[in-house]
Amino acid sequence: MSSRGRLEYRSRDERALTLALPKAPAAVRIYGPDGCCAALCLDLDASRGGAAAVEADAARLIAWLTARGARVVTDRAPSGGVHIYVPLRERVPYETAREVVEALAASHPTLDASPHRSLKTGCIRPPGSAHKSGGHQTLTMSLTAAYDVLRRPNGPEVLEAIRTDLAAEIAAWHATLSPTDPDAAAGVAAARPDIDEVPTGARRAIGARVRHIAETGQWQGYGYASASEARQGVITAAVAARWELVDVAARVADGRWPGLAALYAKYAPTRRHTSLAADWAKARTFLTSQRTAGEGGQSPAGRSHTSPSESLAGGSPPVEAQDDHDHIRTWRTLLRAFELHRLPGRRNHLARFILRALGEAAHKTGTRYVAFGTRSLAVATGTEYSSVAAVLRRLADEPGGWIDLIEPARGERADLYALTIPTDLTGAAADLRWDRGHAHALRPAFRELGHAAAFVFEAVEAGRATTITALVPATGLHRDTVTRAVEVLVAHGLLERSPTGLTAHPGRLRAVAELLGTLDAVTAQLRRYARDRELWRAYLARHDPEQREPSAGDVEDLWWPPGDAEDVTWTVGHLIARTA
């Protein structure tokens, strides 16, 4: 339930459809990954005027639809609300479906158009679903009649008749979407990159406005004259950001970019990828034509900020670096082996991820000494910096613990910590076999899926457990918690069940993070902390001038998150690599 008492259907709770009726209130998505829907779902809400107003609107609406040849299915909620479904033989693009529903809502006050407004979150509670107030959504017609309508859905001519008679209302609705602020044209700017953004070098993140169009299909108000122009703008932005065609095609196919999929829905399914490839070629031609004559030096846009400098590659590491490497690997393995005993229970989940983040930072920089600001750790662990600061103090105050505070923060210099092996574990370190694989802080998808899911996925990914029974001791979680986490991970395609046990699919993590919207949360946190940083620098300039110009390498710039234009699908390692 939301703070306003409304029932919320969260993406992280989504499950595959089954024959069994869900015990809790459930809804189904209106739009598919292709950005289209198979029915108009008209939601008449009793909170908009009461049950009597709903009945009046429903009667008028059913009569109006029937007069245009439509066959409908209807149900009623215990609260007095009514759903009217108009099944369609051919799937309809988002923009077409939405404009029809918006036009109908203009003359039917109880009709809530919001379910059709979002490609990613629009859903409807179907007949038979449990209701939050008790009871169930109930058909207002016989099951036989409803089945017949679904078996013989409405043809394209019915939708065309509806749209023809609503032409004036649809035009009026579109008029309300005209740009009304000076920033509206920024969407065009985001999709028409500067000359120095010709696609060469490492991939970057595309602008938030362009991504909004790709995810929602809502291009009106961004300065585009048509849906096709908006579609080409998204493709051009992706090419300019050095993406590959396969990156965009995958997002169109798997539901991460249903808005862009909807913009291609006017083409036959067999021609959509061909049309996408043609638009891609147009975008490359356009950007190539924008190259300046001065191509002698490397463009700043072609410079990678996420790769170590060449001076660090090749050759044998110095003795000190090798010693630190061994120490870090030993520290990481000991932490994994003893954290359940040293840091038990849910209250220590954040501490375990903060230590993972510090371990990842140390591994990437090649030193056991880590100067890492609390805000950067907060981004890496999906929490707020005040919580990170409290946990760091507790960990550093433990005698013979996992970290020591070597030097407190001053000016722009972050706290300097050393990764330390607990004194009573030094003997165990001698015979330890190092863990294989990479160190990870909290990867973005698990901001939404939760710590328990992260621990379970980590254990399966590392090969420490492949069954629920084995996962219980491997993660230190209760069996019920492990079972729920596995169900969530399987539902999102991150784990796969087989006769031999569970298999992890880490390659799906980014896609799941995009689907759940956690990358937007990361971006918002980065921007908020970037503003904090500028305020702190301004304060130092006024009150502590000698700290304004610290020596190179000492400033917390090393640990501050990347700018808005850079990729935010990383863990801590990407933060570090950009400054290596």
Rounded distance between C-alpha atoms, residue 205 and residue 568, angstroms: 8
Environment class of 369 (CB within 10 Å of its CB; exposed 0-12, middle 13-18, buried 19+): middle
Q: What pLDDT does 225 receive?
A: 80
Q: Is the pLDDT of residue 13 over 80?
A: no
Q: What pLDDT does 7 receive?
A: 56
Q: Enter the DSSP assignment of 38.
A: E
Residue-wise pLDDT tens digits, 157-213:
999 999 999 998 888 888 776 543 333 333 333 333 332 333 344 567 787 788 888
Q: Is the pLDDT of residue 536 over 50?
A: yes
Helices (H), 133-207: 143-151, 156-165, 167-175, 186-191
Residues above pLDDT 70, as percent of the chain: 80
- Name the CATH superfamily housing domain 16-174: DNA primase, PRIM domain (3.90.920.10)
Rounded distance between C-alpha atoms, residue 44 and residue 48, angstroms: 8
Q: What pLDDT does 322 receive?
A: 52
User: Regarding predicted confidence, which is higher, 23 or 402?
Assistant: 402
Residue-wise pLDDT tens digits, 380-401:
899 898 899 999 999 988 877 8
Other beta carbons less than 10 A from residue 449's beta carbon: 26
Residues of the chain with CATH 3.90.920.10: 16-174
Environment class of 40 (CB within 10 Å of its CB; exposed 0-12, middle 13-18, buried 19+): buried
3-class SS string, 48-104? HCCHHHHHHHHHHHHHHHHHCCCCCEEEECCCCCEEEEEEEEEEEEHHHHHHHHHHH
Two structure tokens written together for 354: 């903060």
Q: What pLDDT does 460 receive?
A: 94
Specify the pTM: 0.56
Q: Where does the pLDDT of residue 10 fall: very low under 50, low under 70, confident under 90, or very high at 90 and above?
A: low
Rounded distance between C-alpha atoms, residue 39 and residue 89, angstroms: 9
Rounded distance between C-alpha atoms, residue 141 and residue 124, angstroms: 18
